[in-house]
Amino acid sequence: MSSAAAAAALRLEQPFRDAIDVGKISGVVMEGRFVSGGSYSGYIGTQTSPEGDTKPLSPSSLPYMASATKILATIAALQLVERGKLSLDEDLRPSLPELTSLGS
């Protein structure tokens, strides 16, 4: 990583480090690419397991996604609407028969 990229990474990380220091968040995982080329991976803070064990975040940490996938599904659905392949008023059960067991 170039010195300019390293400086940019430090500027990006600092607000998260500050939030960790005051207990607002426990950690953050960041991935990105620099416009000038190269990539960045940042693992800052800690993660607590369901058993209560705390360990530093690392590339092997499993993130807690919570409801993060809902926004991705929404974006995908709205892109299909935009392309005319899906209507928001359409019944999805014919297209996804596995949903029929979920009721009407």
pLDDT band at residue 69 under the 50/70/90 scheme? confident
61 lies in a domain? no
pLDDT at 1 over 70: no
pTM of this structure: 0.56
- Single out the catalytic residue among 36, 60, 67, 101: 67
pLDDT the model gives residue 92: 78
Q: Is 101 one of the catalytic residues?
A: no
Domain that holds residue 40: 3-56
Residues 81, 36 share a domain: no
In this predicted model, what pLDDT tens digit does every residue of 70-90 receive, in sequence order? 888 899 999 999 999 888 888
Domain count along the chain: 2
Q: Which residue has the tokens 């092997």?
A: 60
